[in-house]
Amino acid sequence: MGFWKNLPHHFVLTRTYANAQIKLWSSWVLKIMKLRYRVIGQEHLVYQKQRPYLILSNHVSACDIPLILNAIPGTIRMISKKEYFRVPFWGNAMRLSEFVAIDRKDR
């Protein structure tokens, strides 16, 4: 568990903390990439805080994930192939943040 093992025993990863870290990470990635963006049509979105939404992306580039995580308000969790959950640190963070693993071979 690496990083997570070194946290104080009283530390509990809350959804609020995970949301903040996800937004921080996505902002950091966009800043490093020197990527600026603008959301067009956001006035057409009727966002209700406690309601779940399904957001689909055609995943054109490596920028899609940080852009979606940063540009859309609220809690965002993604579906990812299960192999990514084996990546050190990254996999633990995704699991603890409640991302969903799928087995693409199980059709």
What is the Cα–Cα distance from 7 to 49, expressed in whole angstroms? Answer: 30
User: What pLDDT digit, counting tens, does each position of 93-106 carry?
Assistant: 888 888 899 998 87
Rg of the chain on CA atoms, in Å: 15
What is the Cα–Cα distance from 47 to 30, expressed in whole angstroms? Answer: 24
Q: Are 26 and 72 in contact (CB under 8 A)?
A: no
pTM for this model (two decimals) = 0.70
The alpha carbon of 63 is separated from its chain's Cα centroid by a whole number of angstroms, namely 12
User: What pLDDT digit, counting tens, does each position of 62-88 carry?
Assistant: 888 899 888 888 788 888 889 989 988
